[in-house]
């Protein structure tokens, strides 16, 4: 290079500069975007947050119908990143608490029932277990007293059951992790309900037991006390039934024969043997 009428590059132009660290304003902007996303979007279904809203032991908000769909269907089938998002914190409905917000209902337009502050990314908010009422942390700290119970419904609660919503402080996250470990050691869930220890019954136990009131055709919504939960569960089950029927209609005739019922003894027609199912044999055979 050189002596050809061209320019000679310097070392500064040839050596790549090291990746620069993000500035303070860039870090702050990224954190603000994350907080805004958590207050407006369900991380499980990626849909806007809408009532009814529930929270797990980490204080993260979800749509209740998304949690129900995740529990009713296989984790990978319902949401591809469901296990990564929940990280094993939600295994039953007892692992979530329904958060009761006051306001217009749209994410970011909820208000504290005590201080009337807007609850959202700019305000540190909490909810109480087991009642689930959400309010500004300052209202609980300055106005509330554990001895008097919830400021909205007077339900008694313990100081350890004040759950920050979408926490970002390392101290809050560590406290919530220690809390759920302590509850599990007492056989309690995040909602302060007993962990289920019942053994699974055999599929025919409900049919053979004369005292059992449930029949074989009982729906998945039996035993659900909450009408809202039952309605959401029924909707999810009906959607699953519709998808199953659609898959069945798309089967070819040869595939359908694999699911055909066996012929009774003496009946003619298709051979019921698995190796020759789908083929018609002569009458003399």
Q: Please list the pLDDT of the chain residue by residue as tens digits (285 residues).
A: 555 667 777 777 777 666 667 776 776 777 788 888 899 999 999 999 998 999 999 999 999 999 998 888 754 566 778 888 899 999 999 999 999 998 865 545 889 998 888 998 888 999 999 999 999 998 888 876 667 788 899 898 888 999 999 998 999 999 999 999 999 999 999 999 998 765 544 444 444 454 444 444 444 444 455 666 677 777 767 776 776 676 666 666 666 666 666 555 555 444 555 555 555 555 555
Is residue 39 domain-resident? yes
| Distances from the Cα of 206 to the Cα of 74, 201, 225, angstroms | 24, 8, 21
Residue whose C-alpha is closest to residue 36's, from 28, 44, 24, 45: 28
SS3 string of 68-100?
A: HHHHHCCHHHHCCCHHHHHCCCCCCHHHCEEEE
CA dist., res. 85 & res. 21, Å (int) = 28
Is residue 36 domain-resident? yes
Taking the model in full, what pTM does it have?
Answer: 0.63
Is residue 225 domain-resident? no
Asked if residue 80 lies in contact with residue 102, where contact means CB atoms within 8 angstroms, the answer is: no
Domain count, the chain: 1
Is residue 250 domain-resident? no
CA dist., res. 170 & res. 182, Å (int) = 18
Query: What are 215's two structure tokens?
Result: 């029949």
Query: What are 9's two structure tokens?
Result: 């590059």
Is residue 149 domain-resident? yes
CA dist., res. 236 & res. 166, Å (int) = 27
Asked if residue 35 lies in contact with residue 119, where contact means CB atoms within 8 angstroms, the answer is: no
Full DSSP string of the chain: --SSSSPPPPHHHHSPPPPPPPPHHHHHHHHHHHHHHHHHB-TTT-SB--SSEEE-TT--EEEHHHHHHHHHS-HHHH-TTHHHHHTT--SSGGG-EEEB-EESSSTT-EE-TTT-PEESTTS-EEEETTT-BEEEHHHHHHT--GGG--TTT-----GGGEEESS--SHHHHHHHHHHHHHHHHTTB-TTS-BPP-PPPPPTTHHHH-TT----TT--TTTT---HHHHHHHHHHHHHHHHHHHHHHHTS-HHHHHTTPPPPPTT--SB---GGGTT-BPPTT-
Is residue 235 domain-resident? no
Q: Which domain holds residue 78?
A: 30-185
Is residue 23 domain-resident? no
- In this prediction, residue 182 carries a pLDDT of 95
Is residue 40 domain-resident? yes
């Amino acid at each position: 290079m050189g002596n050809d009428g061209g320019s000679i590059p310097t070392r500064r132009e040839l050596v790549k500069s090291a990746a620069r660290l993000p500035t303070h304003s860039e870090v702050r902007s990224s954190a603000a975007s994350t907080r805004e996303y958590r207050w407006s979007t369900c991380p499980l279904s990626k849909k806007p947050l809408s009532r009814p809203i529930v929270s797990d032991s980490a204080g993260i908000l979800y749509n209740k119908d998304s949690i129900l769909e995740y529990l009713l269907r296989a984790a990978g089938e319902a949401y591809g990143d469901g296990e990564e998002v929940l990280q094993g914190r939600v295994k039953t409905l007892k692992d979530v608490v329904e958060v009761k917000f006051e306001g217009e209902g749209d994410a970011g337009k909820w208000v504290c029932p005590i201080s009337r502050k807007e609850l959202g990314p700019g305000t540190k908010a909490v909810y109480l277990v087991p009642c689930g009422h959400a309010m500004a942390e300052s209202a609980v700290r300055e106005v509330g007293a554990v001895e008097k119970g919830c400021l909205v419904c007077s339900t008694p609660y313990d100081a350890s059951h004040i759950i920050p919503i979408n926490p970002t402080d390392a101290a809050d996250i560590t406290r919530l992790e220690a809390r759920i470990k302590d509850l599990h050691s007492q056989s309690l869930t995040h909602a302060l309900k007993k962990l289920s220890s019942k053994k699974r019954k055999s599929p025919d136990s409900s049919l053979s037991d004369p005292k059992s009131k449930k029949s074989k055709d009982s729906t998945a919504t039996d035993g659900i006390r909450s009408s809202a939960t039952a309605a959401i569960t029924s909707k999810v089950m009906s959607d699953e039934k519709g998808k199953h029927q659609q898959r069945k209609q798309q089967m070819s005739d040869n595939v359908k024969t694999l699911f055909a019922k066996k012929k009774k003894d003496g009946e003619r027609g298709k051979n019921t043997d698995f190796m020759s199912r789908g083929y018609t044999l002569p009458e003399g055979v």
